[in-house]
Amino acid sequence: MSEQPEHPGQQQPATVQQLSRQPQQMAISASTQELAELIDLHLGQLRPKEPAWRVSDSPISGRGIFATRDIAKGEELFREHTILVGPTAHRSSKLRTCTLCYRLVPGQTDAEALCPAGCGLPVCEECGKSPRHKSECELFLKWRPKQTQRIDPRSLRILSVVRCFFLDEQQRRLLYAMQANADRYYMKEVERAAACFEDFPREQQMLDFFYRTICAFNTNAFESRSCVEGHEVLIRALFPLAGLLNHQCTPNATHHFEDGETIIVCATERIPCGAEITVSYAKMLWSTLARKIFLGMTKGFMCQCPRCQDPTENGTYLSALFCREQGCRGLVIPVQTRTLQPDWRCLTCENVFPHAKMARYQDFALNTINNRINSCSVPDMIHFINDLCPRFCPPSNYVLIEAKLNVIWRMTRFDTDQYTPEEVAHKDRYREDILAIIHKLGAGECTLKKLITEEIQ
Ligand SMILES: C[S@@+](CC[C@H](N)C(=O)[O-])C[C@H]1O[C@@H](n2cnc3c(N)ncnc32)[C@H](O)[C@@H]1O
């Protein structure tokens, strides 16, 4: 459920193997009814008097959220505070960010940003005096951090998990009522954190508690990007209600963050009474195979939604590649929809091609276009999209669409006035192309549409 998933790539054999083993789910300690009650308590004042939704068992998977009346397009469905949150602590992020208010801590060095008590957590002067930091500081001090002059991303990342210590009884029940897909690999996060302390807890019960929390994070968490005093903050957060939203590739709802710790879910389409409310965990414009690989690898399921079952993807042909038969430049699309290694058929000459061959063409397009995205200026990118790509990639193919999106982002977010009128006209045309795809997919007022029409930044 992350905001900007990384591209899953295509057809590495390991991926296919990984996908064939479904993750085991850890025991869930509450019935759907109990879960619904715990969620009501968790929402507190944010629970509307008459919610437009209810929690119930889902035909898609496990539990889900359903409309209790007709919901209008664009309507806000709910807003919710997180129960567990902390910095993602990616190496690329600014680590000198206060762990409570997320402001950049003044100073030039890590040492200046770290809590003077030696707990190893960056914290601003004000938050350093708060009872919340005091309890976290005491716990980290007890474990004896090895690094006291440098911020260690491994110990910073475990903070969101360690915060499960400070949940009250009711919140713990809620945490244990959330789905948690097990994967022994997740234990690595605990091991990496343990290496940062002299006395990290070793008791099995404690390690199990951390492990389950990490599994709940990896199954349900949102990675939110927000802007605090002009600097970008990346945090991962668990929202028990939003975490119940199941996935559809063309969903009827979307989310955004008010601040990193509050999520807002809105309808992108009219949702009839009784329908399940869904969001997308993958990028809207990826091809079906790219989405399948990503969802299989990160969430352990194969989506069976209507879009996944339509080889034309509502006539968008996001997967299409060129036919390489002599004299034919028809569009080739995957035939079967329930496999990761479909046959592909040309819509013009009707020849059928094995997946391995088409996967090579797709990989070539992906790598070539990604290399350009990473190395080209905007004018070069426009020339590449308009004049070179059409030689090897149909205009409908999703990697070419991603390249157009990249040009739009760069032209609207950075140095907006340095482009020629022709370049701006190309950008506007790309935007129209993408809006037409969003329309064909039936994606309504999705976040992507709002982003490219600059309704939101
Ligand atoms: C964030 S949870 C969604 C809520 C979950 N259904 C529950 O009962 O708590 C994500 C998990 O739900 C399941 N899921 C969500 N969407 C799905 C879909 N379209 N098809 C199959 N499983 C899905 C997968 O097991 C996934 O790992």
Interval 332-386: pLDDT, tens: 999 988 889 999 999 999 999 999 999 999 999 999 999 998 899 999 999 999 9
Main-chain phi, psi angles of 307, to 5 degrees: -65, -40
pLDDT at 183: 85
Does 424 lie in the same domain as 375? yes
Nearest CA to ligand 1 atom 20: 303
- Per-residue b or e along 105-122, where b marks 16 or more CB atoms closer than 10 Å to that residue's CB: beeeebeebbbebebbbb
Residue labelled with tokens 């590739």: 249
The DSSP H or E segment spanning 279 is: strand 276-279
Q: Which of 232, 259, 288 represents a domain boundary (last residue)?
A: 232
When mean pLDDT is compared across 8-12, 121-125, 300-304, 312-316, the lowest value belongs to 8-12
**Is 301 within the bounds of a domain?**
no
Question: Which atom of ligand 1 lies nearest, measured to the CA of 64?
Answer: 6
Given the cut 0.90, state whether the ipTM is greater than it. yes
CATH number at residue 256: 2.170.270.10
pLDDT one-digit tens code per residue, 42-79: 999 999 999 999 999 999 999 999 999 999 999 999 99
Does 433 lie in the same domain as 342? yes
Residue labelled with tokens 């080739």: 332
pLDDT at 414: 74
* CA angle centred on 144, ends 141 and 146, rounded to 5°: 125
**Is 275 within the bounds of a domain?**
yes
Does 441 lie in the same domain as 321? yes
135 CA from centroid of ligand 1 (Å): 34
Strands (E), 52-123: 53-57, 63-67, 76-81, 84-87
Ligand 1 pocket mutation pick from 21, 247, 250, 303 by most atoms within 8 angstroms of CB: 247
d(CA 176, CA 27): 8
d(CA 378, CA 361): 25
Does 133 lie in the same domain as 60? no
Nearest CA to ligand 1 atom 4: 244
Whole-prediction pTM: 0.91
**In this structure, are residues 398 and 286 in contact, taking their beta carbons and an 8 Å threshold?**
yes
Q: pLDDT grade, residue 260 (50/70/90)?
A: confident
pLDDT one-digit tens code per residue, 208-238: 999 999 999 999 999 888 888 888 888 999 9
Residue labelled with tokens 């009711």: 170
pLDDT at 17: 55
Does 69 lie in the same domain as 100? no
pLDDT at 167: 95
Number of other residues whose CB lies within 10 A of the CB of residue 88: 20
**Is 300 within the bounds of a domain?**
no
Does 134 lie in the same domain as 103? yes
- 243 or 11, greater pLDDT: 243
**Is 421 within the bounds of a domain?**
yes
**Is 289 within the bounds of a domain?**
no
pLDDT one-digit tens code per residue, 17-27: 555 566 788 88
Does 172 lie in the same domain as 113? yes
What's the average model confidence in pLDDT over 428-438? 97
Does 223 lie in the same domain as 88? yes
Does 48 lie in the same domain as 132? no
When mean pLDDT is compared across 62-71, 300-309, 352-361, 411-420, the lowest value belongs to 411-420
Question: Which atom of ligand 1 lies nearest, measured to the CA of 181?
Answer: 27
Ligand 1 pocket mutation pick from 38, 212, 301 by most atoms within 8 angstroms of CB: 301
In this model, does residue 148 exceed pLDDT 90?
Answer: no
Question: Which atom of ligand 1 lies nearest, measured to the CA of 244?
Answer: 4
Does 207 lie in the same domain as 328? no
List ligand 1's pocket residues with C-beta within 6 A: 58, 60-64, 178-179, 181, 219-220, 243-244, 246-247, 299-301, 303
**Is 446 within the bounds of a domain?**
yes
Instruction: From residue 287, give the alpha-carbon distance in Å to each of 115, 117, 307, 452, 457.
Output: 47, 51, 10, 19, 25
246 CA from centroid of ligand 1 (Å): 5
Residue labelled with tokens 């046959």: 343
pLDDT at 14: 42
170 CA from centroid of ligand 1 (Å): 23
Number of domains in the chain: 3
Does 383 lie in the same domain as 445? yes
What is the distance, to the nearest Å, from the Cα of residue 151 to the centroid of all Cα atoms in its chain?
26
- Please, what is the angle between helix 169-177 and helix 32-43, to 10°? 130
**In this structure, are residues 36 and 63 in contact, taking their beta carbons and an 8 Å threshold?**
no
Tell whether the torsion through CA atoms of 37, 38, 40 and 41 is positive or negative. positive
Question: Which atom of ligand 1 lies nearest, measured to the CA of 278?
Answer: 16
d(CA 243, CA 220): 5
Write the CB contacts of 57 (distance below 8 Å, at least 6 apart in sequence): 32, 63, 64
421 CA from centroid of ligand 1 (Å): 46
**Is 252 within the bounds of a domain?**
yes
Q: What is the DSSP letter of 456?
A: -
78 CA from centroid of ligand 1 (Å): 19
Question: Which atom of ligand 1 lies nearest, measured to the CA of 243?
Answer: 1
Give the residue numbers spanning the domain of 131: 84-232
- Please, what is the angle between helix 398-413 and helix 355-375, to 10°? 10
**Is 297 within the bounds of a domain?**
no
Does 97 lie in the same domain as 55? no
Main-chain phi, psi angles of 10, to 5 degrees: -130, 135
In this model, does residue 455 exceed pLDDT 90?
Answer: no
